[in-house]
Chains A and B, each alone.
Chain A
């Protein structure tokens, strides 16, 4: 019965979403407040049914109901309970249900926290979100129903979850990623609402900002978790492969990053309006594209599409409707929102424009590299793959330029910041960062090369600018503590995220250039020295896990004769599906990771092929990512966004540049700007 309940709840959620998509929208056309007000209760109802449906699927997994095809294919009796729950989103159907659930959660949140917004706007936003939900519910019900039964011949036991996915990282990675993907639907819905209304004002940008930042922070976290999981679970020791699946999540992150910055300009200065809307549409479109690229199987093969034509065609049509429809609306209404205001080329606006351009260019380059093999295959140009050198060749310089601009931009002033003043600010950070960079390489005894030298210098540059800016802004006649308290949460969020970028750059640079990796043949009793560490292969033993048996190697790691770690990498053989899995063992701290993985047994009871890595500062990559996400979290809860949403008059569109200019000093200018003015 549970499966039928879940199915039924899904249908009810669809019905409510249909109502929510059209009734409030019609209400805005007919100025019927009752119809508009119906958006909220329907959003609540949709949420309740989506949650019920999802819970039903979780219950089916926990209850080992293998008469349900999806459960039989992704779970089995021996699977530990926590993995039974995560198996819910391990494959196509369940992950789409998770998507729909998270969309209903965001819709619920918007309905709940939009008390201060004009009813018309809420009605439009919620109906756009419901339209997307309708698309997903229909897709689930007609092509990818997770509640489909295998009757009358249902298996006694299921097939088991792919062992790669039996991991804590993969329990939380997809929900985080989807929180990000789907969260951008809020910005998207706000953008479409602005286009429908033909009105775009500073208040609009202010309301949209915390939602966008929240989604972006979740996406950051999701990408970090994915990278971390690939690092320790795939057994190759890499943290980013420029794999299409990774690119699919990275592209919306790049445009999302551009969006949160252009929203700042739109709010503070009333500029970049139609560009901001376009970015909101683009970001969500890339999120949709990412979801479908990864989940439809089109990446592994164009033929996976042909194998299930109903799904493939539905996806294409859905993407065309959402992306095409929103772009069409943008083409008709985007121009009417245009505002011109002048700003000097040397100003914060210019730096943020540069940020936006670079981010979008980076996204375009990655999009090209990701989709080109698909296009070539369909067009019959042969089967090709695009290697990491292509992506690195473009992305590394773009990212470094971006970081340089970022540091200066975050300190510069709106409208006009005399270039001579900026140049005088830049002089000593430039010198110091080069010295620091060279010093770091020298202390570690690393070889000097241009790229690591420049990259580390850029990281130091970012930190210096950020901290100096904080130092100046936090100075106060009542002491440093009072001064630093006076600064806004959104400022601290920005500071943390920018320094996080620098930390990640350090990690990426040092790991990429100075890792030592060795694949070799080792028998028990033998030892090898890698990067100043001695690795002794002590013994091999056999162990038994809940749903696998494993052969485990015991390695002792010594540094100058002293034992510093014992590592136990495993080779697991899963009984359910017969899969083999490499479980690497890592001894890590902030300075370096020591990584040992077993390859294969070369002879019975004897030699193994063993993979040994020493990776300096690799954890800084994810530490930086965490700082970026936390920065987003801190900025998001800044009270300013909410308080002003209440009190601002809605007709700010007329006010133009002057109002935005003064407002900036009132709201954020607690720092240096006000002091300089005063």
Chain B
């Protein structure tokens, strides 16, 4: 019985250690490869690590799209209703990309306050709004409401 138990214990220890090394590696790799989402307000107000791959999203501002006439370079701005972020992209925009519609860009933030996008995504179909963008709009809206209420509150208290 005893050697069998010892073997089983060894096996368990082996499996646990291998598994924990594996999980450690996986979490490390995960941390290296996750792309955090920022709202335009967050980009403008908080410290964003330069050069780190992040995502940003919002509604494409009307009349903000401008194309280079020689290449595929485009710039446009996205907004969450409170702040606007200029995005630069070189490539083909997705089919459903349009002004006044939601878009999400993956890329990095540069020191001259332009977001350099490597990839731009638009919604899949007519009704779908990327959840991040919907959330960002909602947050900005709530922020506005709160500051509005704060102004109204003050005279009330006096």
- Chain A interfacial positions (CB closer than 8 Å to B): 162, 164, 235, 300-304, 340, 361, 364-365, 368-369, 372-373, 382-387, 389-390, 393-394, 519-521, 577-582, 599-600, 602, 609, 611
- A368, B29: Cα distance in complex, Å: 11
B92 and A384 contact, CB distance less than 8 A = no
Decide yes or no whether B22 CB sits under 8 A from chain A. yes
B95 and A580 contact, CB distance less than 8 A = yes
Instruction: Please give, as numbers and ranges, the residues of chain B lying within 8 Å of A303 by CB-CB distance.
Output: 131, 134-135
Decide yes or no whether B30 CB sits under 8 A from chain A. yes
Chain B residue nearest to A597 (CB atoms) is: B92
Interface-facing stretch out of B44-52, B67-75, B109-117, B145-153: B67-75
- A486, B4: Cα distance in complex, Å: 42
B34 and A300 contact, CB distance less than 8 A = no
B30 and A390 contact, CB distance less than 8 A = yes
Q: Which of B101-158 contact A (CB under 8 A)?
A: 124-126, 128, 131-132, 134-135
Q: Given that A383-B37, A383-B132 are contacting pairs, would A580 and B96 also be in contact in the complex, using a CB cutoff of 8 Å?
A: yes
A500 to chain B, nearest CB (A): 28
A579 and B32 contact, CB distance less than 8 A = no
Instruction: Please give, as numbers and ranges, the residues of chain A lying within 8 Å of B128 by CB-CB distance.
Output: 300
- A582, B92: Cα distance in complex, Å: 12
A92 to chain B, nearest CB (A): 14
Decide yes or no whether B9 CB sits under 8 A from chain A. no
Q: Given that A519-B92, A600-B92 are contacting pairs, would A386 and B71 also be in contact in the complex, using a CB cutoff of 8 Å?
A: no
Q: Given that A385-B34, A390-B33, A579-B125 are contacting pairs, would A365 and B131 also be in contact in the complex, using a CB cutoff of 8 Å?
A: no
Which of B30, B33, B92 contacts A609, CB < 8 Å? B92
Decide yes or no whether B36 CB sits under 8 A from chain A. yes
A599 and B92 contact, CB distance less than 8 A = yes
A577 and B55 contact, CB distance less than 8 A = no
Decide yes or no whether B26 CB sits under 8 A from chain A. yes
Instruction: Please give, as numbers and ranges, the residues of chain B lying within 8 Å of A301 by CB-CB distance.
Output: 131
Instruction: Please give, as numbers and ranges, the residues of chain A lying within 8 Å of B27 by CB-CB distance.
Output: 368
Q: Mark B45-89, 1 if CB is under 8 A from A, else 0.
A: 000000001010000000000010011100000000000000000
Which of B32, B34, B96 contacts A384, CB < 8 Å? B34
Instruction: Please give, as numbers and ranges, the residues of chain B lying within 8 Å of A394 by CB-CB distance.
Output: 26, 29
A369 and B30 contact, CB distance less than 8 A = yes
A235 and B95 contact, CB distance less than 8 A = yes
Instruction: Please give, as numbers and ranges, the residues of chain B lying within 8 Å of A302 by CB-CB distance.
Output: 131
Q: List 18 A-B contacts (CB under 8 A).
A: A162-B124, A162-B125, A235-B95, A304-B131, A364-B26, A368-B27, A372-B30, A383-B37, A386-B34, A386-B35, A387-B33, A389-B33, A390-B32, A390-B33, A393-B29, A599-B93, A600-B92, A611-B92
A577 and B125 contact, CB distance less than 8 A = yes
B92 and A387 contact, CB distance less than 8 A = no
A669 to chain B, nearest CB (A): 31
B72 and A386 contact, CB distance less than 8 A = no
Q: Given that A386-B30, A386-B34, A393-B33 are contacting pairs, would A520 and B72 also be in contact in the complex, using a CB cutoff of 8 Å?
A: yes
B92 and A385 contact, CB distance less than 8 A = no
B96 and A579 contact, CB distance less than 8 A = yes
- A577, B125: Cα distance in complex, Å: 9
Q: Given that A235-B95, A365-B26 are contacting pairs, would A578 and B126 also be in contact in the complex, using a CB cutoff of 8 Å?
A: yes
- Chain B interfacial positions (CB closer than 8 Å to A): 4, 22, 26-27, 29-30, 32-37, 53, 55, 67, 70-72, 91-93, 95-96, 124-126, 128, 131-132, 134-135
Instruction: Please give, as numbers and ranges, the residues of chain B lying within 8 Å of A369 by CB-CB distance.
Output: 30
B37 and A384 contact, CB distance less than 8 A = yes
A372 and B34 contact, CB distance less than 8 A = yes
Chain B residue nearest to A521 (CB atoms) is: B72
B58 to chain A, nearest CB (A): 13
A300 and B131 contact, CB distance less than 8 A = yes
Instruction: Please give, as numbers and ranges, the residues of chain A lying within 8 Å of B91 by CB-CB distance.
Output: 519, 609
B63 to chain A, nearest CB (A): 17
A581 and B37 contact, CB distance less than 8 A = no
User: Which 6 A/B pairs are nearest by Cβ-Cβ distance?
Assistant: A599-B92, A301-B131, A390-B33, A383-B37, A384-B34, A580-B95
Which of A382, A385, A520, A577 contacts B126, CB < 8 Å? A577
Interface centre among A302, A369, A521, A577 (most CB of B within 10 A): A521
Chain A residue nearest to B96 (CB atoms) is: A580
Chain B residue nearest to A368 (CB atoms) is: B26
Instruction: Please give, as numbers and ranges, the residues of chain A lying within 8 Å of B132 by CB-CB distance.
Output: 383
A384 and B35 contact, CB distance less than 8 A = yes
Q: Given that A361-B22, A519-B92 are contacting pairs, would A387 and B126 also be in contact in the complex, using a CB cutoff of 8 Å?
A: no
Instruction: Please give, as numbers and ranges, the residues of chain B lying within 8 Å of A235 by CB-CB distance.
Output: 95
Chain A residue nearest to B91 (CB atoms) is: A519
- A614, B38: Cα distance in complex, Å: 35
Chain B residue nearest to A610 (CB atoms) is: B92
B46 to chain A, nearest CB (A): 12
Which of A340, A373, A383, A521 contacts B71, CB < 8 Å? A521
B34 to chain A, nearest CB (A): 4
Which of A340, A364, A383, A386 contacts B33, CB < 8 Å? A386
Q: Given that A365-B26, A384-B35, A393-B29 are contacting pairs, would A581 and B95 also be in contact in the complex, using a CB cutoff of 8 Å?
A: yes
Q: Given that A368-B30, A390-B29, A599-B92 are contacting pairs, would A383 and B36 also be in contact in the complex, using a CB cutoff of 8 Å?
A: yes
A373 to chain B, nearest CB (A): 8
- A600, B98: Cα distance in complex, Å: 11
